[in-house]
Amino acid sequence: MLTNMGDREAQLRAFDETKLGVKGIVDAGVTTIPSIFIHPISKRPLPQKTNTTNVDDARFQFPIIDLRVSENDLDHKKKVVDKIREASETWGFFQVINHGISDEVTEDTFKGVKEFFELDDEVKKGYYSRDYANKKVTYHSNTDLYTGLATNWRDTIACTMVPNPPHPDEFPPPCREILPEYTSQVMKLGKVLFGLLSESLGLQQTHLCDIGCAEGLNVVGQYYPACPQPELTMGTAKHADSVFLTILLQDQIGGLQVLHQDHWVDVPPTPGALVINIGDHLQLVSNDKFKSVEHKVLANYKGPRISVASFFTTFYQETSTRFGPIKELLSEENPPKYRENTAKEYNTYFLEKGLDGTFPLLHFRL
C-alpha cells in the first residue's frame, strides 16, 4: 500500500480534476477506497469499543447549555455565564439548546446543502474551485487536499457570507434562499454567544464583538458520503479550528469526536441542539484562558452525513484588524503569550500546514 510521493501527487491531481469529489467515487460504485484516502494506521479510528467513551460516564458528560436567558433573571444569567466559562476552559466545546434558530430553518439548511451535493454532475462541476480568497462560493473536496497529510472522505461547499455576501446568482439554486436566512440567524446567535463569552472572561458584554471577532462569517456545508471501508480513512482528520468560534449543525448520523482528558468523546447528535466550539483565534485573544480543542469526524457506512459549520473569521480576506491577547486580561502574572496577527495571516499559516499537522498556535507564541 506504500505509494511514493510523486504517485500520490498525481493521484490527488487526477481526483481533483474529476470535480466530482468523494461523492463521485461513491457514485461510480467502488467497494474499496482509492489509496489516497487510506490513513496511516496510527491515525485511523480504533475499533469502536476502545475508541469512544460511554457517554453515560459522568466524567464525560458532554456539556449542554440552555440559552433561554431573561435579562431580568440575573441569577439564572450568571449560571449560564458560569457554565459557558467552565465549558470553554475545559472542553472547548458545548452544545446549546433554546438558541433561537428554529427547527424549520435548520431543516431547510440541511436540505439545501444536501440538494446541492445531489445536483446533476455537470451543474455541480461549475461550482468547483480552490480559489478560496477570491470566490465567495466554492465547492471542492478537502480544503487542504495538496497540503494535508492524508485525504478525507468528505466534500465541501464554502460560502463567505459576512461582511460581503455573494450575489444571489453566485449561490447554487438549492442554497440561494436558505443560506442568507440561516446566516442572519447564526449572526444573531453569534453575537449572543460572544456577549456571554465576554462576560465569562470578566469583560464588558460587547468586548469580543468590539475587537472584531464577529467581523466575518463563513458558512460551510460538509458532505460525508457513505464509505465502503470507514475503518481505513477519516471523515475529517484530527484538527482544531483556526477561527474565533464555530457554530455547528450536525445531523443524526454521528461521528464527531472531541479530545477530552486524553479520550475521544462522542458529541451526541441531539435534535434541536447546536454544537459550539472555541477556535484557535479565541484561545489566542483570551491568552489561553479558553481552549481550542482537537476534534475529528469518523467516516461511516450509513451516510451521507451532513453538517453545516459556521466559522466566525474573515479567513483569507485582507483586513486591517489585528488580534493579540486582550489587554484587560493581562497582568504581571499573566503576560501576553502570543504575538499580534491578522485573521488572514493566521488562516493562511493554518492552511499551509493542513489538517493533522503541527499545532498552528505554537507558531504565534511569544
Shortest distance in whole angstroms from residue 145 CB to Ni ion? 17
- 203/297 with CB nearer ligand OGA: 297
Q: Identify the residue among 236, 286, 314, 341 touching ligand OGA (CB under 6 A).
A: 236
Our CB check for ligand OGA shows the closer of 85 and 305 to be 305
Q: Specify the residue, 241 or 280, whose C-beta has the smaller distance to Ni ion.
A: 241
Q: What is the DSSP letter of 297?
A: E
Nearer to Ni ion, 199 or 241 (CB): 241
Residue 248 or 351: the one with the smaller Cβ distance to ligand OGA is 248
Interface with ligand OGA in residues 35-54 (CB under 6 A): none
Closer by beta carbon to Ni ion, 155 or else 241: 241
Considering only residues 205 to 234 of the shown chain, the ones binding ligand OGA according to CB under 6 A are 222
What's CA 56's distance to the chain center, in Å? 26
Looking at 222-230, 241-249, 318-326, 353-361, which segment touches Ni ion (CB under 5 A)?
Answer: 241-249
Q: Which does 222 bind (CB under 5 to 8 A by kind): ligand OGA, Ni ion, none?
A: ligand OGA
Q: Does 256 bind ligand OGA (CB under 6 A)?
A: yes
**Cell numbers for 36:** 489516497
Q: Min. distance of Cβ 19 from ligand OGA in angstroms?
A: 21
Measured from the CB atom, the residue of 92 and 304 that comes closer to Ni ion is: 92
Q: Which is nearer to Ni ion, 172 or 236 (CB)?
A: 236
Q: Report the residue from 295, 298, 300, 347 that binds ligand OGA according to the rule CB under 6 A.
A: 295
Which of 144, 199, 241, 266 touches Ni ion (CB under 5 A)?
A: 241
Cell of 15: 481526483
Contact 139, 157 (CB under 8 A): yes
Query: What kind and span of H or E run contains 158?
Result: strand 155-162
Alpha helices in the chain (DSSP H): 5-18, 21-27, 48-51, 74-90, 103-117, 121-125, 178-200, 207-210, 280-285, 343-353, 360-363
Among ligand OGA, Ni ion, none, residue 297 binds (CB under 5-8 Å by kind):
ligand OGA
Give the integer Cα–Cα distance in Å for 68 and 80: 9
- Number of neighbours of residue 321 by Cβ within 10 angstroms: 13
Give the shortest CB-246-to-Ni ion separation in angstroms.
Answer: 6
Whole-angstrom Cα distance, residue 299 to residue 350?
A: 23
C-alpha cell, 187: 449572526
What is the footprint of Ni ion within residues 219-238 (CB under 5 A)?
none
Strands 305-312 and 256-260: unpaired
C-alpha 225/C-alpha 361 separation (Å) is 31
Residues 160, 307, 310, 317: which binds ligand OGA (CB under 6 A)?
Answer: 307
Phi, psi values for residue 157, rounded to 5°: -125, 125
Rounded Cα distance, 79 and 277, in Å? 19
Q: State the DSSP string of 218-284.
A: EEEEEEE---S-GGGS-SEEEE--SSSEEEEEE-SS--EEEEETTEEEE----TT-EEEEE-HHHHH
Least separation in angstroms between residue 254's CB and ligand OGA is 9
Residues β-bridged to residue 156: 140, 222
Please report how close the Cβ of residue 296 comes to ligand OGA at its closest, in angstroms: 8
Can you tell me the distance from the alpha carbon of 330 to that of 333, in angstroms, rounded to the nearest whole number?
8
Region near ligand OGA per CB under 6 A, out of 67-75, 172-180, 202-210, 248-256: 248-256
Residues lying near Ni ion in the complex (CB under 5 A) are found at 241
Residues that bind ligand OGA (CB under 6 A): 222, 236, 241, 248, 250, 256, 295, 297, 307, 309
